[in-house]
Amino acid sequence: MPRKHQFEEPSFDAPLSGGGAVPDAPQDDAPPSGVQAILRKHEARLMAISGVKGIGEGLGPIGNPVIEVYIAHPGVARSIPRKLDGVDVVTKVVGAIDAYLR
């Protein structure tokens, strides 16, 4: 009985079938998202707060974009705004962060 389908070797040079590039794939030259622009705008002010160890972009419990502020201990959360330019701010206690040099 002859086979109806024949296996094709994958090619990294040919575009994917079904339309090419993935629409949600990040591009290196893509403009920053709204949250990234807000992070850039408020980065210096947030990082100047004693106990703030870092900031980032994340997703909230229902999948909405949020600004994450990484803090050394729970008391720092009182100094962090709950929203920045309409975007929710979530604090995450990470403790002390130490950089080790080799």
pTM of the predicted structure, to 2 decimals? 0.64
CATH code given to domain 34-93: 3.30.300.50
Task: Determine contact, residues 68/58, Cβ cutoff 8 Å.
Answer: yes
**67-85 in b/e burial notation, b at 16+ Cβ within 10 A?**
bbbbbeeeebbeebeeebe
Task: Determine contact, residues 68/57, Cβ cutoff 8 Å.
Answer: yes
Per-position pLDDT tens, the chain of length 102: 555 555 454 444 545 444 445 455 555 555 557 899 999 999 999 999 999 999 999 999 899 999 999 999 999 999 999 999 999 999 999 987 777 777
Q: Give the whole-angstrom CA distance, residue 24 versus residue 10.
A: 22
* Boundaries of every domain in the chain: 34-93
* Distances 69 to 26, 58, 81 between C-alpha atoms, Å: 23, 10, 10
